[in-house]
Amino acid sequence: MYYIIGDIHGYYSRLAALYDALVSVMQQADTIIFLGDYIDRGPQSYEVVDFMIQVSRVTAFKSVFLKGNHEDMLLKYLSGDDHGSAYIMNGGDATIRSYTRRGGGFDLPQHHLDFFNTLRLYYEGDDFIAVHAGLNPAVSLEEQDEFDLLWIRDDFYRANKRWEKTIIFGHTPVMAIGGSGPIYRDEKRNIIGIDAGVMYGCPLTCLTWPDGKVFTA
């Protein structure tokens, strides 16, 4: 069984509650997949990243950590590539506060930086693909550009295409696509969005696969 969790955005308490509910039912052969956007907007990005690192060390089940566009923006901010403004305007100020209130300047611990630098762009299963933002419908999986995997929106989920494997994605809140509830399911295109919009007061969502059950916190 796969347990796939949508965008967290620094909401540690909801993550902890959801995780506690999941580990009570998960088995040794199960895999938990996080779709990225662990940071920004919410108040506890530091705690979320620290928690992710702890989960990565758990041996009771497998874990997979994908990269989101907010992790991409953070890394560019740290390297000076975005000139500082884009990241701050997109919720990075909350992450900076989360780290600096622990004392000192905005310096990531090395184990946090190592975590960000080892994030994967997508995960392919037998009958599904988990990715942060979506896929470019014009090219094959092997030809996908990193920018699209982290940032694509309408060109993916409005495309006149039915994917052979179910695409499970975050990035765009369900309400923005036109859905309601904790997930957006489009049978015609064979895609499922699971970013319920935690930053807007909505639940943090986990989709189980292949049975399609939903956990929220």
* Domain residue ranges of the chain, discontinuous segments joined by +: 2-216
User: What six digits make up the tokens of 37?
Assistant: 């956007």
| Average pLDDT of the residues of the chain | 95
Q: How far apart are CA 136 and CA 26, in angstroms?
A: 33
Report, as an integer, the average pLDDT of 26-39. Answer: 97
| pLDDT at residue 27, rounded to an integer | 94
pLDDT band at 104 (very low <50, low <70, confident <90, very high): low
Task: Report yes or no on whether pTM surpasses 0.85.
Answer: yes
CA distance 106 to 100: 5
CATH number of 2-216: 3.60.21.10
pLDDT of residue 80: 85
Longest dimension (CA), the chain: 51
pLDDT tens column, 130-154 = 999 999 999 999 999 999 999 999 9
The Cα–Cα gap between 162 and 181 comes to 23
What kind and span of H or E run contains 207?
strand 205-209
Q: How would residue 181 be classed by pLDDT, with cut points 50, 70 and 90?
A: confident
pLDDT of residue 84: 61
**Residue 201 CB-density burial (10 A; 0-12 exposed, 13-18 middle, 19+ buried):** exposed
* Confidence (pLDDT) at 81: 81
Q: What pLDDT is attached to residue 105?
A: 74
38 Cβ contact partners less than 8 Å away, ≥ 6 residues apart: 8, 9, 10, 45, 48, 49, 52, 68, 70, 71
**In angstroms, what CA-CA distances link 70 with 157, 197, 205?**
20, 15, 18
pLDDT value, residue 40: 98
Q: What is the pLDDT of residue 86?
A: 84
Helix, strand, or coil here: 2?
A: strand
